[in-house]
Amino acid sequence: MAKAQPSAAALDTVDRRILSELADNPELTNKALATRLGLAESTCAYRVRALRDNGVIVGRRLDVDASSLGYPLQALIKVRLGSHSKEHVERLYDDLAATPGVIQAFHVAGADDFYLHVAVEDAEALRDFVLHHVTVYRVVRQTETQLVFDRREGPGVLPRETR
Amino acid sequence: MAKAQPSAAALDTVDRRILSELADNPELTNKALATRLGLAESTCAYRVRALRDNGVIVGRRLDVDASSLGYPLQALIKVRLGSHSKEHVERLYDDLAATPGVIQAFHVAGADDFYLHVAVEDAEALRDFVLHHVTVYRVVRQTETQLVFDRREGPGVLPRETR
DNA sequence: GGTGAAACCTAACACCG
DNA sequence: CGGTGTTAGGTTTCACC
């Protein structure tokens, strides 16, 4: 999570509309975006750039279908640690988050827990993943694996356009 | 999770390199991508389009910093249901996944559980979210909320370029 | 399937209201 | 600060290999 600048510049209505539109359709060209909002292209480009420079827009991510690549099975693996030094925990988190197959990793409050969202080939690969990439660490006290039937993107913090 | 066409077309080396490059840098222009791979621009554009048409590349997503928008607190909310009809569960899942503040929703195997990854203004808003948007449903038997200290993108199923 | 070049479209920047 | 015009650069198409 990027340490946010203390709430950066306040966003006006136009900024919010830009974000909404781009959230709905991230592939919009600047020209199309400007047209939708009734702005000049230059103005629109300027605002978008400013949003980037202020860290509001972090970037874009490629959305790849794991199934098509031969990893049709997804799981959420809860990793519970014993209590340990901050450095150890951070180090392990780094390693786990960088493990191939991991789509995303969460470090959550509580009993030093991580959640790993992974994609694998099949059930056997899932077992192997847990055994070879998670429980190999001494610090890991217990794991709990749940198959992911479905994952969905929510609206997030940008309510759908209300026009 | 998009129901994958039964493993679609097999991907060759070039396809994999395209995906790796775009995963590393989703903002690459087609021209730059072609140059990196040593392909003609037209060829490169053609392959990328094919990957899209085959559903391998689903699209791009805008990466917005929730903190900058005034939602600095993130949480993972585990929602456990009683046993219910498929329609009821699906309906509830739809509703929850579409609730403002929800970044992503998981439907996992087990005791009919959902996980909601949410972003909120502060602790009070988090409490209100759980009370007003989750536990209001009769079907919800119990919830468990954990603060998210950090979330990280993993490499996923596309191992970093090995060149 | 891959290529190169022309025609078309978009973005960047300096300038003007 | 928002709008316009020019130039540089990117994408698409198509005949050809």
pLDDT of B8 over the 60 cut: no
How far: B100 CA to C5 C1' (Å)?
49
Distance between CA atoms of A110 and A46, rounded to whole angstroms? Answer: 43
Domains annotated for chain A, with CATH where assigned, are 12-53 (1.10.10.10), 66-148 (3.30.70.920)
What percent of chain A is predicted at pLDDT more than 90? 82
How far: A43 CA to C17 C1' (Å)?
14
What does the pLDDT look like over B26-85, one tens digit per residue?
999 999 999 999 999 999 999 999 999 999 999 999 999 999 999 999 999 999 998 778
Distance between CA atoms of A10 and B45, rounded to whole angstroms? Answer: 39
Q: Which of A24, A30, A69, A126 to mutate to test the interface with B (most CBs of B within 10 A)?
A: A69
Per-residue DSSP letter, B134: I
**Nucleotides in D strand less than 7 A from protein CB:** 2-5, 9-14
What does the pLDDT look like over B20-33, one tens digit per residue?
999 999 999 999 99
Where helices occur in A10-65 by DSSP H, the ranges are 13-24, 30-37, 41-53
Contact yes or no for B147/B75 (Cβ under 8 A)? yes
pLDDT at A87: 86
Q: B150 and A4 in contact by Cβ < 8 A?
A: no
Q: A67 and B11 in contact by Cβ < 8 A?
A: no
Residue B107's identity, in one-letter code, is H
Positions of chain A with pLDDT under 50: 1-7, 162-163
- Please report how the helices B41-53 and B30-37 are oriented relative to each other, as an axis angle in degrees rounded to 10: 110
Nearest Cα to Cα of residue B58 among A111, A34, A61: A61
What does the pLDDT look like over A115-160, one tens digit per residue?
999 999 999 999 999 999 999 999 999 999 999 999 999 999 986 6
pLDDT at A161: 58
Q: Which residues contact A101 (CB under 8 A, 6 or more apart)?
A: A71, A118, A119, A120, A129, A133, B154, B155, B156, B157
